[in-house]
Structures are given as C-alpha cells and as structure tokens.
Structure 1
Amino acid sequence: MNLSLVVRFTLLALVSSSMAAVAGAAEPGPDSPKRYRVIFNSDGHGVFKDAKGDLDQWIANLFGPLENSHVDALFWCDGSGGNTANYDSRVLERTGARVGKADPKLQALIDQGNDPPRVVVREAHKRKLDVFYSFRINDIHDSFILSEQPTFKIKHPEWLLGKKKYGAVTSYPTALNFAVKEVRDLKFRAIEEIFTKYDFDGLEVDFLRGAPYFLPGTEKKNAPLLTELVSRYHRLLQQQSKKRGRRLQLAVRVDESLDACGRDGFEVAKWIERGLVDHVILGSGVIDIEIAQFRKLARPRGVHVYPCLYGWPSRYSPIPRKLAAAIALNYWQQGADGIYLFNWFPHTLDNSEQTGPWMASMLDRIGDPAGLRASEPELMFVVDRGRPAGEYPSNWLHCILPKALEPGRPLGLRLRVREDLTRKTKSLTLRLQVDNLQAGDRITVTIGDKPVTGWKSAGKDRLETSVSPSLIARGDNLVKLVLVKQAKTSKAARVARAVELDVRR
C-alpha cells in the first residue's frame, strides 16, 4: 500500500478515536434510560404521617412542592423500611401488625380503594413524572422502632448478622445476612409483588439502607450474591417491560467511592459493565462524593450518575440553604448527570421537619447550575466531616474531622470548591470551629501553603477571617491547621470540628 495512504488512514483512525474519547458517552437511542435533572426521593412515612389520614392532604404534601420544579422523577419509598409494608401486601406483613399497632388510617385508605402505591403512581403519571419504587433492602430502623420489626426476624434469628464489629463500628442487631438464600429470596419476592400489582416506571434498590450485608471479612467472597440479586431484579424488569410495552428502569444507591463499595460487597463496576443498571446514585449523608470514578465506568455504557444531596449531611442538621446550594454546584461541576435529593421534606403544612419553605423554593433551580448560581447570593463550602457508623460502616472513610489538634503537628484537610470564586464575589469569610478553644491559643492556617491571617473571635469555639478569592483554587484545596500554642487555661484537647468558607455574591 502507498505510504501516504497508510499515514492518512492512521491519522483518520487517530482522529476518530480522539473524537470518541472526547464524546465519552454512548449515543442515546430510543431505548436508552432517561436522564433526570432532579430525582426526588420521598420517605413515604413523613409526608403520610403529617397528613393525618387526609388523602387529599397527603397528595398535596407529596406532589405540591414538585409542581413547576426541576424534579423529573419521584423515587417513592412507602416508609416502612422494606421489612414490613405500608401497602396491601401478601409477601410482607403490615407495619405494626406484629405488635398490634397497625395504622388504622392506612387501612381505611386501602379499604376505600386508595392503596398508597396505586395512588402515588396515578398522581405521578398525571403530572408527567416518572415514578420508581424505592426499596430499602436492608433497613435497620426496626432495631429501635419495634412497629417496623417483622415476624420473620423474630422467627429466624439465624437470618440476622446481629451485633458484629466492622472496624471501629458495630452493626445493628436486626441487619440481615444476605449470604442467607432465604433472605435474598424474600427480598426478591417483595419486589416481584410490587411490579406485578403496580405500574411503577422503575425500581431503586437502596443499598444504603443499609450496610453491612455480610459477616465481617466475607464481603468480597459473598459480593457475587448481591450481583446475582441485582441480575434477578434486572430480569424481572425486563419481563415486565415486555408485558407493558415500555422500558422499566433499574437504579441502585451505593457508597460515595469505589473503595467503599468494594468494602461493602457492591460490585458496581460489574453491574454497569453487564448492563444491569440504568442509574447509579452515590452516597448517603456524606458531602464529598467521587463522581468521576463512577462516571468513567458509567458514561461509555449510557448509565447515569447522581450524587445524593442529603437533608442533614455530615452533621449539618438540617442543611443550611447556602450549604445545599454550594454542594449542588460542586456536584454539577464534577460531572453529575443530575441531583438526587434524600430526606428532603419540602411540604409546608404541618411539616414535622420544619424545613418546608426553603427546601420547596430550591426545587425550581437546583437542576440548572447556571440558574442556581445566579439565584443564590450566599454559598458555603465546607471540609467534609464524619466517621463510619453502624449503618454506614464504609462511609466517611475520607474524613479527618473531627480531629484533636496536636501541638506543633500540621493537620491537612481537603476543602473542595469547584466554583470560580474570582468572579462576582463580594466577600469570602473563612471560619474555624475548634472545641475548647481558649483566648490564649494560637492556631496558624494555610491554604495551598499560603498563610491565612487576620483571625478574630466569632463566638464560643469559633474564629473567622476574610480571605481573597485568589487564595481559593478551583478544585481541592489543601488547608493546614497547626496548633502553635496551647494555652494553660485548659488541658482539654482542642478538637478541630469544622472548616467553612462563606461566599457572598
């Protein structure tokens, strides 16, 4: 072959390869999963309880805040935790039945023909919303809410993990052991019934309600058992899709990093590679989420990735509006396909969470980063904080705070800011919270090796100072704290608890 032709063909191949790499994503086809701007996960218990048995008020609580919003999909949980049922079921017993406390208001609705899943599907479709059944597959609220504890856990203690040590944390006594075949079969039959009776558009398997799933040290060996269960759900939805003449979708909610997923036995890469899932939701309560790790796997397969914006993340309870806006903007800049809201209660009448008005007012902007950026005059970026817990043994592994400051030893922290703060910023205020802070203490702070000065007291255990926008890089900023001098007025440890960057525009 002519050498010049070889060169031209080679260049053409390289250009084609480069264009494909830049595109990075599978071309959407008629059978591709939908991309949602905002997914709203509704804890059915909260909105139902606050309606006090009034059907119209329950519908208004659930759907009113979603009107004229960016919410494209409702992921509805019946509020029972996946071990009992707040609907008419022959697989799971009614919540409270075992202890004689079944909700008479719920029974009245069912007797009137208003079985909650049927109502939710009907009302969602009226509003052109896709609606998924959100299945909390291993919820442990029944460890302390006895009305949610099912008979099968009493009769079959061998199905439970019980209290076991996972690193520094202990599992809840009612967590199920998914190495037990009967457990997996029960969890499949519950979903099989749901999709036989109700016209949901998809299923969310909420694996973060919650880990652990296997005995300590057996997670890797038993991980294929969860993969097979996900495969069974996938096949079930495929069968139902053929019957209904439309594609039903499968979503999973998993940990915030691939490392954490591996520790819990979630073979997410295999689920994506084998085409088992359409949507991957990341995190539960954490702030820093490694979206890029999952996007790299998901994008070539046409799978969508959504970080979870929690209602009270990393001990900010409830989440301040300016923090919610900043987290959402960070997620968009990291390449999220959309935002997933969990433990948001935006209804305004008799809201037991008292967050309704401002949460409702963000639903028409949080799915559009440009609009969100333009409409929010205040943002707050923070260093993530927290520790693994009994229901989250592999979460917050990246966190350092809270941490005792050791005199003279630097404490390095990550402050993630994906916004360009050099534009349209009126002021930046950096704040520290240090437990047991004394007037005679001296703490030095650097950001990217540049000193931050001008500190003044901002109340008990708090310091603040103004900083220049040029000091904050667009990305992950290294913040170092050093306790240079510890006053003798208190021997108690100085515990760094929060680093916050307030932005006024």
Structure 2
Amino acid sequence: MPRSGKTRRILCNDDGWIINTPHPLTPEFMWEHMVGTYVDTPIDGFLWSVGGHDTYSYETDIGERFGEGYDNLDESQQRSVDNLNYLMEHHGGPMEVIAGLCRRAGVEFFPSVRMNEHYDMPESAPQYSHFRRDNPEYLIGKGEDIPGPTLEWGIRTGLDYAVPAVRSYMASIAVELVSRWDVDGIELDYMRHPAYFRIEEGYSNRYLMTDFIAYIRQQMDEIGEAKGKALDLIVRVPPTLRDCARVGLDVETWIKEELVDIVIAGGGFIPFETPVDEFVEAAEGTNVEIYGCLEALRPNLNELSMRAAAALYHEQGVSGLYLFNYFRLPHEWKRDTLGRLVDGDALSRLNKRYEFDKRGRVRPTNQLGFSFQNAIPLTQLPTALEPTVIGPSTLLTMSIADDLEGAKAQGALGECTIGFRLENSGAGDTINVKVNGSALDANAARRSADSWTRTVYAPNRGHDSPMETTDDPEPGTVIEWTVDTPPLQSGKNEIAVWLTETDPGRDEPLILADVRVSVTYR
C-alpha cells in the first residue's frame, strides 16, 4: 500500500482545459463543470495538469506562467492569461482553488506534471517555453537542423534530461507543487511525452532519471513529515518494462526501491496488449501499486470495450484504474459507467467486447506521433493478408478475462461472436478461420458492409457543456461467426486466419483491420 495508506479505485487526469473557458473563471464554475462532477463517483483521485511545454497555468513562483511577456496573444491565449491572473488576484490561484474544491468534494488532489511535451509548434509560440527557446543546448536535438520526418526529428525539441540544468529545473517544479499547496502527492507524467534523452543515450542514462526520482522522493518525504501527512508519488510510464528501460526509465528499480508509490502502466493506447502483469510481478513484496490505463482518444469510449479492458487489468492484478481524456464526461457517466468497471464481481458477468489494439503499420508524420512511437510497441493489427504456402496468413493471440467455461456450466453464458473487419476486400476474397485449432464453418459466416462503428467524442458544444459521444462508422467488410465455448476459452486464444481465395480485381492489399469478440450473458 502507498505511503499514504490509501488505495484509490480510479485516478482521473484532467488536462487543464478549464483555464481556457470564458473570462472570468470563478471557483463556482470550476466546481460545477470540473471538480463537482466527481462527487459520489468511484474516482478517488483528481489529477490536474498544471501546464505543458514547460509553461504553466497556475500561481507558480518558479516556472514560466503561460503568456508572460507576450503582447500579441490571440483571443484564446489571452483568455487563459486573463483567467489565471483573475484567479490569482481574487482567489489565490488555480492550485489554491482546486485544492479547496477537492477537499469539498472528498476527492484527493494530485497536480500532474508533463515531463516532456513534443507537440508540433513554432519556437515563437507562447506555449513554447523560454526555457527551451533560450537554451537550445538543453534540448535533445541541441538546436541542430535535423531533417525529417524521422524519430530523431520528432523528438528534437524536447528537453534532454541528460543536462543537469533540465533535471534541476523540473525537480524544482515538482517540489514547489508539493510544498506550497494542500495536495496528496504528485504525478510525474512520462507519457506526455515519452522521449527524454537522445535515442542512443536513453538506456545508458537510466541512472540519471533514477537519481532525479530519488531526489524528488526525498524532498516529498521531508515535506510530508513537516506537513504531518504522507505524500504519494505517482508516475505514468510506457507500457512495457523493456520499453521503459530502453528510453531511460528504470521503473523496475523505482518499484523495488519503493521510490514511487503508484505506477500507471502505459498511456492507454494499447490496453488489450499492455503486459500489466509484468509490472504487478515487479511490485510483489513491495508497497507499490500498479494501475491500468484507459485512454478515451484511443478511442476507448464504448462501455463494452472499456469493460473488457478493465476486466483484463483486474485479472492481471492491478490495484485500480487510471483515466486519461475522460474528464469532461458528465457526472452520471462517471458515477454509473465507471461504477460498473470497479466492481469486479459484477463486472465478471457483464457483456463485453474484446478487441485488438491497432498500432501496427504505423508511420508517424508529426512530432507527437514519433514521440509515442518511441515508447509504444507495435501491435498485431492491422496487418495485410496474403496467400501462404503452409501456415496461416496471420496468427493472432487474444486474452479473455471472463470465466466462459464456468458461465456456460451455470447456464449464464449467452451468445458469443467473433468478427473480422477487412479493408479493400473484393467479392472474390475468402478467408478461413480457426479458433484454438478449431475451424469455423465458412457456410455459417455472416457478411456485411460498413456495419461496425467506433464510439468517439462528438463535436464540442461549448465550455459549459459536458462532452457527448457519437458512433462513427468503421468502413470495410465484416465477416462474423457465432462461436461456442469451446473453442473460445478463458485466457489465451489463438486465432488463425487464412486468405484462401483472392479477388482478381483488387489492386490494394487486403487489410485485416480489426477483430472483435463479443461476450454476452443471459
């Protein structure tokens, strides 16, 4: 259990959107549209992003406040500056206000520090800090003209944590946050964004980031003792221990030495393929807790899909869930939908939709995309299907957390289906499928066009309205079977797909874009 002695069911990150709402921003508006929406929900910890690209939207005396020194801001940028100044003048500042609102809501408060943003923006932009602009030697690319698009180009404007001044500055930001305000700890968000060293130096520089973490841990313990409360250190890191180490984060050591209290495994982009169990195993015998991450912009907003991902996380032994980009959904959604995700017993017999993550065949074109590629492994899908001589065109592995066998024996299991979405499919393309070695009857397959959807955020209706979702069509041919248990089974499932006939009129590769397994209960 963390130093605080508390386990939170759900931690929810907020990206700081409210600072850009119409002026003047008041504590009452912040309660109604932000913190108050967490009351009586399973969200026990509110994590508020204090800024990005090393410019900050709170009453810091150490960091650069957003918009300082600029007289040519656009309307949106000026609104953020005006709101920050208004809150500082009349209410102490955003940190002071949010800390008080969280106490009122009965929710714990953790400021969230983005450790290295890699968004595409010109150096002249007010979001681009003076710390970076005035000190090109502090950057991963050292101010060099690096041609792109390549990985080196993509991360070139990020801070280089091999530079002592960078580590000292970012540590001072974290220490100020936990020392000046009534917080319950802090989050260091290494998934915004995952590149902290030159590519060839990441692994060998692990010790530098460990020293950075150890220093913050020491300071937090001293501050906590002076305040009379234990402060928890949360880190969000890449989705595998191997990738963490490769890019310069020795997370395994952080866990073993209990330098951190909570580790968020991954950014939520590959929830069905994140090996959370390796983090859980590393934390055995320690007081460190591991959380599974869900990311709304994956997208992962469909409740059936969220249930499946949460069930897999719980099965692997997480202590709780972490949400990113879900902050503006309404109170009822947070209460009801999330309530079903944290009740393990109830979740086990709720309908679900298992999916494959889709980060295969990725070729980024912008800095943000390359920073994520730097630390998020490629996934099984999408993949091109070609005729083969001996083996299948593709062999996939899917894990299912539900006790299908037990539910069937009790008469509780309803219909289960497995479906495949193909892009560029022609009328003459034919696939054969085996699930755990058992062939599915080709004559029983159901074929349809553009019948799947993906739940995404609807266009924003305004700052004073919660976000809504909509279902966008997923183009392609869907081939679906009803499947029994067995061959479908709890745990690991092998799905083999053969392209047995090809359409002679098709010019583009046949892409297996998605596979879904739906599990229902009576």
Q: TM range, normalised to the smaller chain?
A: 0.7 to 0.9
Aligned to 2:64: 93
Aligned to 1:161: 140
Aligned to 2:386: 406
Q: 1:168 to 1:215 in 2, by over 3 A?
A: closer
Query: How many residue pairs align between the two structures?
Result: 463
Deviations 1:227-253 (A, max 9, x none): 011011101101101110111111111
Alignment of 1:26-175 (within 5 A): 33-45=5-17, 47-49=18-20, 53-78=25-50, 80-81=51-52, 83-97=54-68, 99-100=70-71, 101=73, 102=78, 103=80, 104-141=82-119, 143=121, 146-162=125-141, 170-175=153-158
Deviation at 1:357, TM superposition (A): 5.8
CA contact (8 A) 1:41 1:76 kept: yes
Question: Residue 332 of structure 1 aligns to a residue in which SS?
Answer: helix
In the alignment, residue 68 of structure 2 is paired with which amino acid? A
Aligned to 2:440: 452
Query: Among 421, 442, 458, which residue is 1:433 paired with?
Result: 421
Q: 1:32 to 1:186 in 2, by over 3 A?
A: closer
Q: Does the alignment pair 1:481 with 2:481?
A: no
Deviations 1:137-166 (A, max 9, x none): 112236379332111211111211235889
Q: TM-score, normalised by structure 2?
A: 0.83
Distance in 2 of aligned mates of 1:182 and 1:267: 21
Q: 1:498 to 1:121 in 2, by over 3 A?
A: same
Tell me which stretches of 4 or more aligned residues in structure 1 moved more than 6 Å. Answer: 164-169
Deviation at 1:134, TM superposition (A): 1.1
CA contact (8 A) 2:186 2:234 kept: yes
In the alignment, residue 139 of structure 2 is paired with which amino acid? L
CA contact (8 A) 2:185 2:232 kept: yes
CA RMSD of aligned residues (A): 2.4
Distance in 1 of aligned mates of 2:433 and 2:151: 30
In the alignment, residue 426 of structure 2 is paired with which amino acid? Q
Q: Is there any run of 5+ residues in structure 2 with no aligned partner, and where?
A: 363-368, 450-475
In the alignment, residue 456 of structure 1 is paired with which amino acid? R
Question: Residue 91 of structure 1 aligns to a residue in which SS?
Answer: coil
Query: Among 352, 375, 378, which residue is 1:379 paired with?
Result: 352
Aligned to 2:341: 366
Aligned to 2:486: 470
Deviation at 1:467, TM superposition (A): 1.1
Q: 1:253 to 1:123 in 2, by over 3 A?
A: same
Deviation at 1:395, TM superposition (A): 4.0
Q: 1:466 to 1:147 in 2, by over 3 A?
A: farther
Q: Does the alignment pair 1:327 with 2:309?
A: yes
In the alignment, residue 85 of structure 1 is paired with which amino acid? Y
Question: Residue 365 of structure 1 aligns to a residue in which SS?
Answer: helix
Deviation at 1:458, TM superposition (A): 2.2
Deviation at 1:466, TM superposition (A): 1.2
In the alignment, residue 93 of structure 2 is paired with which amino acid? D
Question: Residue 234 of structure 1 aligns to a residue in which SS?
Answer: helix
CA contact (8 A) 2:27 2:97 kept: no
Q: Does the alignment pair 1:498 with 2:498?
A: no
Deviation at 1:200, TM superposition (A): 1.0
Aligned to 1:286: 270
CA contact (8 A) 1:62 1:347 kept: no
Q: 1:143 to 1:98 in 2, by over 3 A?
A: farther
Q: Is there any run of 5+ residues in structure 1 with no aligned partner, and where?
A: 1-27, 349-355
Aligned to 1:256: 239
In the alignment, residue 494 of structure 1 is paired with which amino acid? L
Deviations 1:75-112 (A, max 9, x none): 2212x225111011222222233544342122212211
Query: Among 356, 373, 379, which residue is 1:393 paired with?
Result: 373
Deviations 1:205-246 (A, max 9, x none): 111111211112111211111001101110110110111011
CA contact (8 A) 2:237 2:244 kept: yes
In the alignment, residue 91 of structure 1 is paired with which amino acid? I
CA contact (8 A) 1:138 1:209 kept: yes
Alignment of 1:230-245 (within 5 A): 230-245=213-228
CA contact (8 A) 1:70 1:366 kept: no
Question: Residue 215 of structure 2 aligns to a residue in which SS?
Answer: helix
Q: TM-score, normalised by structure 1?
A: 0.86
Deviations 1:300-349 (A, max 9, x none): 01110001111122xxx35212111111111111111111111113444x
Aligned to 2:461: none
Deviation at 1:126, TM superposition (A): 2.3
